[in-house]
Structure 1
Amino acid sequence: MIGLPAKVVALHPYDPAWPRLFQEEAARLQAAIGRYVLDIQHVGSTSIPGLAAKPIIDLAVAVANFEEAAVCIEPMERLGYEYRGENGLPRRHLFVKGTPRTHHVHINEIHSADWQQQIAFRDYLRARPDLTGEYARIKQQLARQFPTDRRAYTEQKSGFIFNVLRKAIPGLVPQPGDPLRVRMFRSNAECYRWWETTVEAVDDDSLVTFSPPGNLIHETQGEWRTQGAIRAHYWFARPYVLLEIYGPDGALGGLYVHVSSPALVKNAELYVTDHELDVVKQPGGPAQIVDEVEFIAAAATYGYSAEFQAFCRQIARDALTLVDHWQPSGWRQL
């Protein structure tokens, strides 16, 4: 009824037993950690009637405080769960259970964007069978495209999820002039770089930021400041980021495309996972794919599947055309 081997993407038809299996596991959690939690909800695809899903029960657990919720780790481990830390989502405790995998538990602060978004997405699709059907078609296509790569499968459906959340949660997306923190992750869920910037433009498909010269960049090994200005274009359903780099004099210094996950927005933060394959175009020169060595190393380190490697390389080839036809906006400070 439930259970999926590691590194397998397989969708099962909706099973009416899934709500009961959630209730049974929620009762176990309540007995083990109930004194520390505020709510337990069934989330994810198995919580949406009629939707095909990976046969893994997702449980969202609300707590008052992330740090204090560390007290849940030991009793969860006694229930057979493995603790995965934040696993790419700041201030989330992730637990997984079963071989093959049967349950995921996400412990979030009740006031957090993650808690709000999980519930809002579920409730919106429960009320919209037409969108449930569209989501099922997207999931099935991605399962065929990435049959052995859950990371790629999850990343590439994020655009649909985000568009639903924009309808379900008014004001989700920052507006022009708003401050925004950008976090760049590696494929092991490590945040390796972050900075503050300002939203310049936003529409249904994308968000654009502008950072002036001297912007402070934080990295795990230290800090540095940019010499010129950077305009960054992020898309909610496209697997890349495009940067316009300007020198201190305002002249265009180059275009860069990072093959990445689509952008995710939570509160006043934007998250992107960098897959370490890039395209560069210098003024007057041809666009070219770079960082092949880094990409090969990342594929080996993070276990990119063959189909995901091929996908990333195709995105890079498509980006050659993108940058060749790109019309930079020029340096206009906010």
Structure 2
Amino acid sequence: MPTRDQIIAFDDSPPPPGADPWVEPAVSEPIEIREHDPAWASCADEVGRQLRNALGGRALQVAHIGPTAVPGLPAKPLLDLDLTVADPDREQEWLPQLVAAGFRLTIREPWWYGHRMVALRAPAANVHVFGPDSPEPLRHLVFRDHLRRHDADRRLYGQVKRDAAAHANAAQELVMQYNARKEQVLRAVYARAFAAAGLLDDA
């Protein structure tokens, strides 16, 4: 279980020299932001079932996170889920089963909380794989639930997403640049989410 300090501290350190997280090359494509679709929840449930069917007990936790998990929040039509396994570095214990179920490995960055990402084409989904000691899945849940409860931050983040997508599309940028354009507001909303969750009481 991650500590409070680990949950509220972001690891922004760059990859080790010469390391490349991309298993599949990143491509420049238009970033589409849609109004929230209530069907996204059931689609995420289906992806969760596929993960659990493939991994059985090795799927320690599966959670629908990200913008598609927040009713009323505009989002890319791409589901995000967190999958917790015992040890992401032991890929032989979980990755072959996911590949057999139709997922493909797109990102491998063991230096950042052991993170891997696998993607599914239909429904379109990115599944972020972490270990039980990683603070990221809990951080994602705190953020998701804060946006579900707080209209002002949900509206603010939705507008930032639209603006960032418009700028990124105009400049033909990759999704990394789109994410960077959201970063300042994203961190401010995270700080309010941490405070609302009681994680900053001693700050």
TM-score, normalised to structure 1, is: 0.47
**1:10-45 deviations in whole A, cap 9, x for unaligned?**
101100100000111111111001321211100011
Question: By how many angstroms is 1:159 displaced?
Answer: 1.8
- The equivalent residue for 1:40 is 62
Taking the aligned partners of 2:85 and 2:72, their CA distance within structure 1 comes to 30
Give 1:64's match in structure 2, choosing from 86, 94, 117. 86
Which of the residues 104, 112, 123 maps onto 1:89?
112
- In 2, the alpha carbon distance for the partners of 1:66 and 1:103 equals 19
**What SS does structure 1 have at the residue aligned with 2:68?**
helix
**Greater RCO, CA 8 A, separation 6+:** 2
Letter in 2 for 1:50: G
The residue number in structure 2 matching 1:156 is: 181
Q: Counterpart amino acid of 2:188?
A: N
> After superposition, where does 1:291-330 map in structure 2 within 5 Å?
none
| Distance change >3 Å, CA 44–CA 82, structure 1 → 2 | same
Q: Deviations over 1:164-189 (max 9, x none)?
A: 222223249xx8xxxxxxxxxxxxxx
Q: Kindly tell me: are residues 160 and 21 of structure 1, through their superposed partners in 2, closer, same or farther at Cα, counting changes over 3 Å?
A: same
- In 2, the alpha carbon distance for the partners of 1:123 and 1:93 equals 24
> As a proportion of its length, which structure holds more strand?
1
Q: Pairwise mapping of residues 203-282 of structure 1 onto structure 2 (< 5 A)?
A: none
Aligned position for 2:124: 102
Residues 253-304 of structure 1 show CA distances to partners (whole Å, capped at 9, x for unaligned) of xxxxxxxxxxxxxxxxxxxxxxxxxxxxxxxxxxxxxxxxxxxxxxxxxxxx
- Cα RMSD over matched residues? 2.4
Which structure has more helix as a fraction of its residues?
2
The 1:164/1:8 distance shift into structure 2, 3 A limit, reads: same
- Paired with 2:139 and 2:84, the residues of 1 have a C-alpha distance of 13
SS of residue paired to 2:64: strand
In 2 relative to 1, CA 44–73 (structure 1 residues): closer, same or farther, beyond 3 Å?
Answer: same
Question: 3-state SS of the aligned residue for 2:62?
Answer: strand
Q: Deviations over 1:129-149 (max 9, x none)?
A: 111111111111111100142
Flag the 1:87–1:52 CA change in 2: closer, same or farther, 3 A.
farther
SS in 2 for 1:141: helix
Bigger Rg, which one:
1
Q: In the alignment, which residue of structure 1 is the partner of 2:193?
A: 168
**3-state SS of the aligned residue for 1:58?**
strand
Match of 2:148 in 1: 126
| Counterpart-to-counterpart distance in 2, 1:9 and 1:15 | 17
Distance verdict in 2 for CA 1:111–1:167, change over 3 Å: farther
**Where does structure 2 lack aligned partners over 5 or more consecutive residues?**
1-26
For 1:22, the equivalent position in structure 2 comes to: 44
Contact kept in structure 2, 1:36 and 1:69, CA below 8 Å: no
Contact 1:109 1:115 in 2 (8 A): no
- Name the CA shift for 1:122/1:69 in 2 (closer, same or farther; >3 Å): farther
> Where does the alignment leave 5 or more consecutive residues of structure 1 unmatched?
176-334
Aligned pairs for 1:185-200 within 5 A: none
In the superposition, the TM-score normalised over structure 2's length comes to 0.75
